[in-house]
Amino acid sequence: MAINYRYRHQFGNSPEGTSHRMSMDTTAGWTIESAAEVLLTAEATRSDRHPITDDWPDLDLDTAYQVQAALLARKVAQGERIIGVKLGLTSRAKQQRMGISSPLTAWLTDGMVLEAGVPIPTAELIHPRVEPEIVFVLGEKLQGPGITAATAMAAVRSVHAGLEVIDSRFTDFKFTLPDVVADNASSSRFVIGSVAYQPDDIDLAQEACLLSVDGTVVDSATGAAVQGHPAEALALAANALAERGLALEAGSIVLTGGMTDAVFVEPGQQIVAEFTHLGNVTVVGA
């Protein structure tokens, strides 16, 4: 799949730049930079930790998105490229499991791409879980505010099945909304299926997915689980990013959010998402 990534001119070295980022010291002694550093260290050392909000209870959503931006800026400084956006907590299954009812946005980098057939490097991760998603690749830039599901779909070049591997830096995947926003929505890896549909050629609300582990179906959902229609999730992302002065670039990959609850993956396990039209996507734990 040929995908163009055009974030550099918009974002420079980080998704949201550095100019407006606060360098405040909180009463708890935390800063945006120190929170980003703690999360990146947890990822690099495979060590889960308690929520940042336990120590920094005043961490609000705006500041959490600045922590997320600082974290991404560090990944970019280390050579990763931003290639798209992922939504989190867009389905009731995910919201109920995590106890959080607000969707959120986060970023995808090329370091998160898991090529088809490459096993999930479980030894490098804390407690990986896998969830099926409907994925868009944009043919045009998409900039809010005022984006509707229809205008969002007009910007889509192709639709795919996907599996996201999430790996929260917080113990037992227990966090508040600001924690998970700061943690870039538990991002770890993702794989996109090879089947591509034109947006007009598929009814995404009706598109069904069976999720199986080692041949046993453990969950199922249709695209309607994602905000009623995955295009609503795409519109939500464009409008939410616009509030922070950002847009989705042409060529972006957009993960619209887990359709079902995520399942843990152990070494040797095979997880398959079988979609009605979008084909099968398979991952194996290394």
Q: Do 104 and 241 form a contact (C-beta atoms < 8 A)?
A: no
Tokens of 256: 């619209």
Q: Is the peptide bond before 57 cis (omega within 30 degrees of 0)?
A: no
In the stretch 114-153, what mask flags binding to ligand 0L1 with x, by CB under 6 A?
-----------------x----------------------
Chain-centre distance of CA 102, in angstroms?
A: 14
- What span, in angstroms and rounded, lies between the C-alpha atoms of 281 and 130? 11
Tokens of 203: 């009814």
161 binds, options Mg ion, ligand 0L1, none, Cβ within 5 to 8 A by partner type: none
Regarding 191 and contact with ligand 0L1 (CB under 6 A), the answer is no
168 binds, options ligand 0L1, Mg ion, none, Cβ within 5 to 8 A by partner type: ligand 0L1
In the stretch 241-280, what mask flags binding to ligand 0L1 with x, by CB under 6 A?
----------------xx----------------------
Regarding 89 and contact with ligand 0L1 (CB under 6 A), the answer is yes
Question: What separation, in Å, do the N-terminal and C-terminal C-alpha atoms of the chain show?
Answer: 25
Tokens of 23: 């360098």
Min CB(233)–ligand 0L1 separation in Å: 10
178 binds, options Mg ion, ligand 0L1, none, Cβ within 5 to 8 A by partner type: none
Regarding 223 and contact with ligand 0L1 (CB under 6 A), the answer is no
- C-alpha pair distances (Å), 232 with each of 67, 68, 160: 26, 23, 16
Nearer to ligand 0L1, 31 or 136 (CB): 136
Regarding 258 and contact with Mg ion (CB under 5 A), the answer is yes
Min CB(174)–ligand 0L1 separation in Å: 10
189 binds, options Mg ion, ligand 0L1, none, Cβ within 5 to 8 A by partner type: none
Nearer to ligand 0L1, 7 or 173 (CB): 173
- Nearest CA to 252 out of 78, 46, 105, 93 is that of 105
227 binds, options Mg ion, ligand 0L1, none, Cβ within 5 to 8 A by partner type: none
Judged by CB under 5 A, the chain residues 158 through 217 that form the site for Mg ion are 164
Judged by CB under 6 A, the stretch of 58-66, 114-122, 163-171, 235-243 that binds ligand 0L1 is 163-171
Regarding 285 and contact with Mg ion (CB under 5 A), the answer is no
Tokens of 229: 């229609």
Phi/psi at 171 (5° precision): -55, 130
Judged by CB under 5 A, the stretch of 69-77, 104-112, 202-210, 252-260 that binds Mg ion is 252-260
Inter-residue long-range contacts of 167-171, CB under 8 Å, 24+ positions, other chains counted:
167/43, 167/125, 167/126, 167/127, 167/128, 167/129, 168/48, 168/126, 168/127, 169/39, 169/42, 169/43, 169/48, 169/49, 169/126, 170/48, 170/49, 170/50, 170/51, 171/48, 171/49, 171/50
Residues that bind ligand 0L1 (CB under 6 A): 88-89, 94, 98, 131, 164, 166, 168, 173, 180, 185-186, 257-258
Residues that bind Mg ion (CB under 5 A): 164, 258
